[in-house]
Structure 1
């Protein structure tokens, strides 16, 4: 699985600079097998969704959306999720950095029988770009967001870009 992520990052590095908009990027990598939910919809007080973070634990530790549960990507375990969320009709929102890994995890949830799964459009980057709060591993608000890579970081317009567990930042 890590090989696939590496290949994906290399392909994005090569082709990514030609992307002019987030919608074009997501259209290139996603097939909309999991419907999108906007950051504004998720932030709405009427939303009662379970929020799953499909990034790696080291990314989650830097920052995450409040009340999100890290389910990871490389080590995603559907059995853990079915134990945690037995109601397969419950609204679930999955997010990652931009919405690509989260679509993959969302598709796994749908195959496991979950009926109300949504993918956060633009992921945590779009969340932070819209000035919504993110929280660190101590559940304190932070401006830091794990930027995944230098190539991905161009999509994060607000906040402090973090690239590793050692909290190296850019900007």
Structure 2
């Protein structure tokens, strides 16, 4: 686990942030320099943006959004994105479990000159909480959702919770 993310996680647990208030959690830990896109807005898109999954590989293998590209968090490299997405005006939506790790990656994309980047509010948990499909490593719809940890699992209200 990335040391910065681990610190955020431990601080979150110790801070007493309301377990039911996602807005407070995201406000506390995100820079909010990248706009959010909400699940319902993303679902209504007529042109599908490029989806970047900023979680780690074991999380992605269990559950991810359809057609999402795994970019990771601990090993994220902007140069890999620049090769895959050379057009810096391409619409990109980043996500993670809740929207904290993806905020960091989205900021890196903006700093690298990408102009049309949004962070999925509530991440894959909110997607699944809205009864939308998620996919496993063989691109089949699954009800399993990787929740990162037992503590984070409380944010996933739907699906079969999987964590190490």
TM range (shorter): over 0.9
State which drifts further: 117-126 or 19-28. Answer: 19-28
Post-superposition offset of 1:159 = 0.3
Post-superposition offset of 1:17 = 5.0
State which drifts further: 133-142 or 41-50. Answer: 41-50
Quickly say closer, same or farther: Cα 1:16–1:134, change in 2 above 3 A.
Answer: farther
In structure 2, distance between residues paired with 1:17 and 1:24 = 7
Post-superposition offset of 1:20 = 3.5
Give the match for residue 159 of structure 2: 159
In structure 1, distance between residues paired with 2:26 and 2:45 = 27
Post-superposition offset of 1:141 = 0.4
State which drifts further: 46-55 or 120-129. Answer: 46-55
In structure 1, distance between residues paired with 2:16 and 2:146 = 18
Give the match for residue 101 of structure 2: 101
Is 1:4–2:4 an aligned residue pair?
Answer: yes
Is 1:79–2:98 an aligned residue pair?
Answer: no
Is 1:53–2:53 an aligned residue pair?
Answer: yes
Secondary structure, aligned partner of 1:42: helix
Post-superposition offset of 1:18 = 3.0
Post-superposition offset of 1:155 = 0.7
TM-score (normalizing by structure 1) = 0.91
Deviations 1:81-134 (A, max 9, x none): 000000000100000000000000000000100000000000000000000000
Post-superposition offset of 1:150 = 1.5
> Between Structure 1 and Structure 2, how many residues are aligned?
164
Post-superposition offset of 1:2 = 1.9
Give the match for residue 13 of structure 2: 13
Query: Matches of residues 36-47 of structure 1 in structure 2 within 5 Å?
Result: 36-47=36-47
Give the match for residue 90 of structure 1: 90
Structure 1: which 4+ aligned runs deviate by more than 4 Å? none
Deviations 1:30-80 (A, max 9, x none): 121110001111112414210000000110000100000000000001000
Is 1:25–2:16 an aligned residue pair?
Answer: no
Post-superposition offset of 1:12 = 1.7
In structure 2, distance between residues paired with 1:4 and 1:17 = 18
